[in-house]
Amino acid sequence: MAGEDKRAAIIGVVTISDRASAGIYEDLSGPAIAAYLTKILTSPFELVRRTVPDGFESVRDELIHLVDAAGCDLILTTGGTGPSPRDLTPEATEAAAPRVLPGFGELMRQESLKQVPTAILSRQIAALRGACLVINLPGKPASIATCLDAVFPAVPYCLDLIGAARLETDAAVLKSFRPKQ
Ligand SMILES: Nc1ncnc2c1ncn2[C@@H]1O[C@H](COP(=O)(O)OP(=O)(O)OP(=O)(O)O)[C@@H](O)[C@H]1O
Ligand SMILES: Nc1nc2c(c(=O)[nH]1)N[C@H]1C(S)=C(S)[C@@H](COP(=O)(O)O)O[C@H]1N2
């Protein structure tokens, strides 16, 4: 039954950046996502960390592998959501996860716009591949908490509905919402 899956969640964290993947700069966004999850989640989870270059196939194939082979319940990507020619994370996400949840991108941009006018440049989406939710975050490390604070309250219930692992958050840090059933 949806919402009854008590096993440890498998959560993918994918940094998408030409320069971070080449070692030109240190990846700060992947670790920021890992730290965020450690701070808010009280239920058990296992992280699967990846760093890939920008592009369509590099991202699509990694996402498909993380769902179909690694068994991820949730994947958070960072980077490649902008308008530059090699920023193809949203296209690759939709190719791997065809069922788009438009509210996630709308809310993340809305909250980010309160901080920076260039937030409208992010084409970030969230979408489903089977029983896995994939959420795109911008590359800037500072955008991670802004975007996750906005959408994470709905993530545990979304995972219940798709039949993924059950997530519990520390309500003192981030209160998630499950409609009474
Ligand atoms: N994973 C990351 N870790 C640390 N800083 C990042 C990361 N991703 C992006 N940034 C910062 O945000 C800036 C803009 O990110 P953006 O994704 O637009 O980079 P980019 O110009 O496409 O280059 P690249 O794909 O090589 O990261 C970068 O110049 C960098 O300062
Ligand atoms: N919260 C937040 N959102 C943000 C930003 C930011 O600094 N903070 N940067 C914006 C900028 S400048 C760009 S180009 C887009 C896309 O970034 P990406 O290509 O690194 O994903 O995210 C936008 N969204």
Q: pLDDT tens digits, residue range 125-149?
A: 999 999 999 999 999 999 999 999 9
Q: pLDDT tens digits, residue range 114-126?
A: 999 999 999 999 9
CATH 3.40.980.10 fits domain 9-162: yes
118 vs 156: CA distance, rounded Å: 29
What value, to the nearest 5°, has the Cα angle with vertex 26 and ends 40 and 150? Answer: 30
Q: Give the whole-number percent of the chain exceeding pLDDT 90.
A: 96
Is 109 a pocket residue for ligand 2 (Cβ < 6 Å)?
no
Which ranges constitute the DSSP H helices of the chain? Answer: 18-21, 29-40, 56-68, 89-96, 102-113, 143-151, 155-162
Task: Give the residue extent of every domain in the chain.
Answer: 9-162
Across the range 10-30, mean pLDDT stands at 97
**ipTM associated with this complex:** 0.95
Cα 143 to averaged position of ligand 2 atoms, centre (Å): 7
Which residues sit opposite 127 in a β-bridge? 100, 134
Give helix 89-96 / helix 56-68 axis angle, nearest 10°. Answer: 40
What ligand is nearest to the CA atom of residue 51?
1
Is 79 a pocket residue for ligand 2 (Cβ < 6 Å)?
yes
Say yes or no to pLDDT of 6 above 90.
Answer: no
Is 143 a pocket residue for ligand 2 (Cβ < 6 Å)?
yes
What H or E segment, with its residue span, contains residue 60?
Answer: helix 56-68
Is 17 a pocket residue for ligand 1 (Cβ < 6 Å)?
yes
